[in-house]
Amino acid sequence: MSFRQLTSIALVIALIAACGKFSQPLTEKERNTVSKLISDLKPRCVGRYLIDMPDDALSTGYVFIEGVAVATKRMSSDEFTQEMDAHEASLKAKKNTYGYRVLYDYGQVPNTPYSRYFITLADLDDTADLSRAIEAYKWDAGYQIKLRIEASDWINSKYKVKVHNTPYAVPDLNLNDVPEKTRLVLNLAENVRGRADDEIPTEPGLCFKDGFLPRKAAKGEDVSSLFALKDRPDVYFQMKTDTDMRELQKNSLPNRLSQIKVDMKDINGRIIRAAPVMVGGIKADEFLISATTEARIPGHFFRVEANTTVGGATTPFLVLEMKNGGFNGFTADRLETASLTEDEAIALWDVISRTLRPRPNGF
């Protein structure tokens, strides 16, 4: 057994002992289960933070950067070229039922060899031509990276001229934000790069599923990654960071507890523990409950959140959740029982959650 494995097992034993007042001691079977789950933890990068996950954990996620949706897909450079050629041909051949133009601009992203961008109607079958979709595609390090944002152009709209003659009198309406949003998308496409799931960057930047954007901490970053246990996918962790969530999260977790207790009655909820904690040098609040999950089985929901009332580029709203007995894209359509006992779930949470920390030089 490696030093890392021994360290992980020692850590879980220490944490279980420290939290003994919250749960019964683990049976030998439970200890073996948890020890196996934490025997091969490796760092994963989410946003500008790190967290250790089982090496074979299944993962998915989403990211929005300044309103631009980013999606990734693993493929070869040849597959990328073929897909882009087919996409371009399809757009050129597409006819809008109402006679509006479908493809407004396309080409290669500046300074980016394996790339394409397209500016089209947001909905290719739309009844008007006011909205646009700005998309850029880039291939890097074995991944296709797609960036997309919607914009509007009232100035050059045939629909506006034909039906209304003048733009709607909407206060603060940007009559044509296509140029600025195009610059944003092309700039992101030029700088973003592919990234293996276990690659940990050493420079400032934003990590997301299969990708990385090198830059100093900035507003407009919304990242979420989900990690499911390979052989127990109903057990999963979801980590989120959002630089713009402060206005929506003014109340700290302790202030919300009274309402949470009311809501828990409908799901047979029971609080296991709720208290302030320090995680990776960050002040946070923790909340662990047992309850009936969306799979309609007894399970568990654990949560730690930080930067609830501050927010911002260098202090993004930060949430880590764990569910035992929940649905996600990796689970079967039906669950009979949660994969972990309560004590196993707590022990696993106490190890994984305490590995959450800012990535060195991440900001």
Phi-psi sector, 125: left (phi>0), alpha (psi -120 to 50), beta: alpha
The DSSP H or E segment spanning 338 is: none
Query: What is the model's pLDDT at position 256?
Result: 80
Distance CA 92, CA 115 (A): 18
Cβ burial 111-125 (10 Å sphere, 16+ → b, else e): ebeebbbbbbbbebe
Query: What is the model's pLDDT at position 40?
Result: 96
> What length does the chain have?
363
Structure tokens at 348: 């696993």
What is the pTM (predicted TM-score) of this model? 0.88
Q: Encode the chain (363 residues) as per-residue pLDDT tens digits.
A: 443 443 444 444 444 444 433 345 899 999 999 999 999 999 999 999 999 999 999 999 999 999 999 999 999 999 999 999 999 999 999 999 999 999 999 999 999 999 999 999 999 999 999 999 999 999 999 999 999 999 999 998 888 655 555 555 455 668 899 999 999 999 999 999 999 999 999 999 999 999 999 999 999 999 999 999 999 999 999 999 999 986 455 577 777 877 888 888 888 899 999 999 999 999 999 999 999 999 999 999 999 999 988 879 999 999 999 999 999 989 888 899 999 999 999 999 999 999 999 999 999
Domains within the chain, CATH numbers bracketed: 3-58+218-358 (3.40.1000.10), 68-193 (3.40.1000)
CB atoms inside a 10 Å sphere around CB 5: 14
Residue with tokens 């276990």: 198
- φ, ψ of residue 78 to 5 degrees: the values are -65, -40
Query: What is the model's pLDDT at position 263?
Result: 83
Structure tokens at 308: 């609830």
Rg for the chain (alpha carbons), in Å?
Answer: 24
Distance CA 118, CA 74 (A): 21
Phi-psi sector, 193: left (phi>0), alpha (psi -120 to 50), beta: beta
Sign of the dihedral through C-alpha 292, 297, 298, 302: negative
Query: What is the model's pLDDT at position 333?
Result: 86
Query: What is the model's pLDDT at position 24?
Result: 57
Query: What is the model's pLDDT at position 255?
Result: 76
Beta partners for 64? 69, 222
